[in-house]
Amino acid sequence: MKTGVIVYVVGKESLDDAIDFEEAGKRLNIKADRVEVVTNIDGSFDVMHAWWLLTAKGMKLIVCMIAEVVNRSKLKLTGRELRLCG
């Protein structure tokens, strides 16, 4: 079964364009077929859009993991996650 993960970035640290969220998401070493990172920088990309994209790419199990920005340069998973599809 193909697995997709949405990394939803929350927290109090400011989010800006200096962070490469795609690269930061890869450094989390999440075991999944596909990972999408969602932030509040671009209001047009949200969890529902990421879920649709993963579903369209054939993911059968989709999990949303919560992460926060650490040191304005990397992401850290909080340990909270939601199963969105299965």
Q: How buried is residue 66: exposed, middle or buried, by Cβ count under 10 Å (0-12/13-18/19+)?
A: middle
pTM of this structure: 0.83
Query: How far apart, in Å, are the Cα atoms of 4 and each of 7, 63, 64, 65?
Result: 10, 6, 9, 11
Q: Could you list the residue range(s) of the whole structural domain that residue 57 is in?
A: 3-85
User: Which residue shows structure tokens 């650490």?
Assistant: 70
Domain count of the fold of the chain: 1
* Predicted confidence pLDDT, tens digits, the chain (86 residues): 899 999 998 876 656 566 777 788 888 989 999 999 988 765 556 888 999 999 999 999 999 999 988 887 788 999 888 877 65
